[in-house]
C-alpha cells in the first residue's frame, strides 16, 4: 500500500495529491493548475518526501514555492519539513536497517 493510500485509510477526509520536483509528472505547477481549475482549494501543505534536507529542500523547493505563490495567489502554499527529519521516520528507518543486517540482508 502506498503512503498516499495509508494516509487516506487513516483519514478519508484528508486530500492527498502527488507532485514531483523533477522528471516525473505531475510537477507542482501542473498540480496547482488542476487544483485551481477544480476550485475550492485555498491551502496546500507541501510535504517533501525527502530523507534529508539537502539542496532541493534548502534552495530549489523554497524558490519554486515562492514563484508558484505569485502564480497561484489564491492558494496559500506552506512548505513543511522534509519527512525524513521526523523523529518517527528516522526511528522506522533505523529499525528497518537493523532488521536488514540482523536478518543477513547486508
Each domain of the chain, given as residue ranges in start order, spans 3-102
The ranges of the chain with pLDDT < 70 are 102, 104-106
Global pTM value: 0.82
Instruction: Tell whether domain 3-102 is in CATH 3.40.50.1400.
Output: yes
| Residue in 98, 6, 83 with CA at minimum distance from that of residue 49 | 83
Closest among 80, 7, 12, 78 to 42, alpha carbons compared: 78
Which pLDDT tens digit goes with each residue over 62-82?
999 999 999 999 999 999 999
Q: Which residue blocks in 22-86 are alpha helix, DSSP H? A: 28-38, 55, 61-71
Amino acid at each position: 500500500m502506498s503512503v498516499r493510500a495509508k494516509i487516506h485509510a487513516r483519514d478519508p477526509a484528508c486530500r492527498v495529491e502527488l507532485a514531483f520536483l523533477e522528471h516525473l509528472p505531475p510537477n507542482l505547477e501542473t498540480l496547482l493548475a488542476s487544483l485551481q481549475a477544480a476550485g475550492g482549494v485555498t491551502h496546500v501543505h507541501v510535504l517533501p518526501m525527502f530523507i534529508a534536507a539537502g539542496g532541493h529542500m534548502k534552495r530549489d523547493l523554497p524558490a519554486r514555492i515562492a514563484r508558484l505563490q505569485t502564480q497561484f495567489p489564491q492558494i496559500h502554499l506552506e512548505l513543511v519539513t522534509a519527512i525524513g527529519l521526523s523523529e518517527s521516520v528516522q526511528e522506522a528507518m533505523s529499525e528497518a536497517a537493523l532488521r536488514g543486517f540482523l536478518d543477513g540482508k547486508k
